[in-house]
Amino acid sequence: MHIIKKIKNLIDRKRAIRRIFKDAESLDEVLLDKRLQIFREIVTPQFAEIGLKNWNGKYLWYSDFNNEGIKHVVEYNVFKIFGGSFTYGNCFSTVPSISGSRLVNHRTDKSTKIIYSKRLDGWQKSMADGSPINPDKISTVNEEKFRKSLETVLSKNIPKLKKWFDEKTTLDQNISGLLEDIENPVFEIGHKIISHEYILAFLYKQKANNESATYWINKHFEKSLNNQYEIELIKKRIDS
């Protein structure tokens, strides 16, 4: 099995190299203004159909908060070499992030941020396999390829996004999803600063389950992602 995987990766790398040379022949990169124009035309209406009716005019689409303080979000991520793809997930009104020396809440449109974050399946699998071929990559080599790859990625993934959002609309559903992700972790390069354990702690605090909140924030601290000052800030919020 290991040999088969190595052969597949070698084939994928050769395909990727051929694609780079082919792209170089037709390079006319889609820059920001044109990219946003096409997003307005193609992406924004399709995300609105699954409840993400708000667009920040650039790379973020999101719903309104529901009555449990949960907001669904999709973000376009720019790659280093002529492309990008989407991450998705939830923003929570009760889960802060750390910026500098303070905890920042995400309760306004301007502060919207994906807290519980996922990559599109094809992108995630390509990372796990170490493959240079990302089926969820949106090419910015030229406008034709940008439009075509964008439509392909959207048509394949919007039903998956809708399903995930429909199944992550309550605190209990998000808690169950986070617990499952901890039990079955996906491949990551390094550690996420906002760990699943961190999110669980604040969601349990919102449910007034202080014992579970303390348990999960201590599990987060075991990852050594925060300095002592940040630890004290977080503890103070959890204990308040």
Quickly list DSSP for 191-240.
--SS-HHHHHHHHHHHTT-HHHHHHHHHHHHTT--S-HHHHHHHHHHHH-
| Residue 140: Cβ within 10 Å count | 25
Structure-block tokens of residue 50: 């699954």
Q: What is the pLDDT along the chain (240 residues), one digit of tens a residue?
A: 566 555 556 555 555 555 554 565 668 899 999 999 999 999 999 999 999 999 999 999 999 999 999 999 999 999 998 999 999 999 999 999 999 889 999 999 999 999 999 999 999 999 999 998 999 999 999 999 999 999 999 999 999 999 999 999 999 999 999 999 999 999 887 788 999 999 999 999 999 999 999 999 999 999 999 999 999 999 999 999
Helix (H), strand (E) at residue 153: helix 143-166
* Angstrom distance (rounded) from CA 16 to CA 212: 47
* Angstrom distance (rounded) from CA 111 to CA 65: 13
How far is residue 158 from each of residues 153, 172, 237, measured CA to CA in Å?
A: 8, 24, 36
What is the reported pLDDT for 31?
96
Task: With CA atoms as reference, report the closest residue to 200 among 226, 174, 221, 180.
Answer: 174
pLDDT digits (tens, 9 = 90+) for 129-186: 999 899 999 999 999 999 999 999 999 999 999 999 999 999 999 999 999 999 999 9
Q: CB of 62 within 8 A of CB of 169?
A: no
Amino acid found at 104: V
Can you name the residues that pair with 83 across neighbouring β-strands?
139
State residue 46 phi and psi, 5-degree precision.
-70, -40
C-alpha dihedral over 226, 232, 237, 239, to 10 degrees?
120
Q: CB of 86 within 8 A of CB of 68?
A: no
How far is residue 219 from each of residues 38, 123, 128, 199, 232, measured CA to CA in Å?
A: 43, 28, 25, 11, 15
What is the CB-side half-sphere exposure of residue 220 using CA atoms within 13 A? 25
Diameter of the chain by CA atoms?
Answer: 60
What is the reported pLDDT for 21?
42
What pTM did the predictor assign?
0.89
